[in-house]
Amino acid sequence: MTKIAVIEDETIVRENIIERLNEAGYQVVSADNGLRGIELVREQLPDLVLCDVMMPNLGGFGVLEYVRKDPATELIPFVFLSALSDKSDLRKGMLSGADDYLTKPFTREELLNAVEVRLKKKRSFDDRFHGALDQLRDSLSRSLPHEFLTPLNSILGLSSLMHDHMKDFNSEEILEMLRHINQAGQRLHRLVQNYLRFTELESARQDTERAELLRAETLEHPDDIIRDIAGGVAERARRPKDVSVNAEKAAVAVSARNLEKLVEELVDNACKFSLDGVPIMVSARLTDGWYELVVSDKGRGMTDEQRRSIGAYMQFDRLEHEQRGVGLGLALVHSIVELHRGRMSIESELGKFTRVTVLLPEAHFG
């Protein structure tokens, strides 16, 4: 049964709300002041909180602050109840993180409608979250063992072979095995680094102060970074002649570290999902206050559903197309773009091409 917490100091109002909610089939728990309300929410973990704004000791804004700071309760829908109809109070409530605002006196229909709207949005969010979580679990269970074990097997197998039969190999054969061991180690290192980087970015996006510090970073020569990183990726993929770069100078509101990772992942994906000898084009230019970075290839392409489903660890058609990486590439790009308040779009046609466009804000100095 759906549980609703009612925090209201006026007994008649509180009992009236409880009665209406009980009649509608909701389970109701209540508190008569803000301090008890905080404990009630923490202990009961309700599906929705209805809270009066003006209460002695601790008002509704204080209750909301505590609720939003606790990871166990921060996502619970929160609706203010108040006799105050001043627009400044409404604005303060919304800026504080409230989900809705009911002005007293309200009718039974207004109360139940506000409750149902918030619960419906919560159910929709929960469904999307659990759906994404199921996809994540499935992708992890299929991809992570492969991603770790394949390079580990190469490292262990080749090093064991060299250890047991070193005298049977000539110097060229030994150097070739060492090269494969190094490549496998680099693959493992990148997998771990990308995972750590993704969790770092996601953490920063949830920390307002930290996010603002990162957004304040600027870069005056993105063209040099784009050429260097794209060239390095092309060399690693043994496709230096396939990748062409045309990048203009500009001042961009992004850190060098984040731009490097963004370019690395986009060019790496283009190399990964296109055949040797097929051109990959990287361009960057300033347009209408944005620095536009475009990476395009004439490779495998993506379906509309795949483009909409881009997320961490999600690989497409892994059973049909074996590939390196656990799908963090575009998720990392998406996190960087969102952190810096940019834009990202993907155009693609299955079997023909993919073009990823990233817009980063132009930096203004002085």
Please, what's the b/e burial string for 186-196 (b: 16 or more CB within 10 A of its CB; e: otherwise)? Answer: ebbebbeebbe
What secondary structure, in 3-state letters, does 126-164 show?
HHHHHHHHHHHHHHHHHHHHHHHHHHHHHHHHHHHHHHH
Predicted pLDDT of residue 321: 37
pLDDT at 259: 94
Residue 4 has pLDDT above 70, yes or no: yes
Torsion angle, CA of 34/78/200/138, rounded to 10 degrees? 130
Nearest-angstrom CA–CA distance, 203 and 214 = 12
Domain that holds residue 73: 3-106
Confidence label for 253 from pLDDT (cuts 50, 70 and 90): very high
- 122 inside domain: no
**Mean pLDDT on 211-223:** 86
Could you tell me if 335 and 248 are in contact, meaning their C-beta atoms sit under 8 angstroms apart?
no
Query: Is residue 29 included in any domain, yes or no?
Result: yes
What is the CATH number for 21? 3.40.50.2300
Distances (CA, A) of 68 to 49, 63, 64, 159, 194: 12, 9, 6, 52, 30
Does residue 343 sit in the same domain as residue 238?
yes
Look at residue 283 and tell me if it is in a domain.
yes
Q: Specify whether 274 is located in the same domain as 342.
A: yes
* Number of structural domains the chain divides into: 3
299 to each of 44, 280, 333, how far by Cα in Å? 53, 9, 19
**Cα–Cα distance, 339 to 206 (Å, whole number):** 10
Domain for residue 40, yes or no?
A: yes
**How high does pLDDT run on average in the chain?**
82
Q: Looking at the domain assignment, is residue 349 inside a domain?
A: yes
Q: How confident is the model at residue 291 (pLDDT cuts 50, 70, 90)?
A: very high
Map residue 85 onto helix, strand or coil.
coil
The pLDDT of residue 354 is above 70: yes
Question: What three-state secondary structure class fits 215?
Answer: helix
Q: 350 or 270: which carries more pLDDT confidence?
A: 270
Over the stretch 61-79, which tens digit does the pLDDT of each residue have?
A: 899 988 888 777 888 889 9
User: Does 154 or 112 have the greater pLDDT score?
Assistant: 112
Q: Which of 346, 352, 319 is nearest to 334 (CA)?
A: 346
CA 252 to chain centre: 22
Rounded to whole angstroms, the Cα distance separating 324 from 273 reads: 10
**pLDDT, position 316:** 37
pLDDT digits (tens, 9 = 90+) for 162-208: 888 888 889 888 898 898 899 888 878 877 777 777 777 777 766 77
Q: Is 187 part of a structural domain of the chain?
A: yes
User: What is the pLDDT, as a whole number, of residue 256?
Assistant: 92
- 47 & 178 share domain: no
State the Cα–Cα distance between residues 361 and 215, nearest whole angstrom.
10
For 73, half-sphere exposure in the C-beta direction (CA atoms, 13 angstrom radius) is: 23
Of 201, 234, 250, which marks where a domain is finished? 201
180 & 102 share domain = no
Task: Give residue 363's identity as a one-letter amino acid code.
Answer: A
Model confidence at 284: pLDDT above 60: yes
Structure tokens at 206: 């949830």
Q: What average pLDDT does this structure show over 337-360? A: 88
* Residue 220 and residue 173 in one domain: no
The closest alpha carbon to 297, from 233, 250, 359, belongs to 233
Same domain, 229 and 350: yes
Which residues, 6 or more positions from 44, have their beta carbon under 8 angstroms from its beta carbon? 3, 5, 29
Among residues 198, 273, 284, 262, which one has the least CA distance to residue 237?
Answer: 273
Most confident region among 115-124, 208-217, 287-296 by mean pLDDT: 287-296
What one-character-per-residue DSSP string does 90-125 give? HHHHHHTT-SEEEESS--HHHHHHHHHHHHHHHHHH
pLDDT at 322: 39
Q: What is the pLDDT of residue 329?
A: 72
Say yes or no to pLDDT of 351 above 60: yes
Q: Looking at residue 318, which CATH number applies to its domain?
A: 3.30.565.10
Query: By percentage, how much of the chain surpasses pLDDT 90?
Result: 36
Residue 118 included in any domain? no
Residue 30 sits at the vertex; the CA angle it makes with 26 and 34, to the nearest 5 degrees, is 140
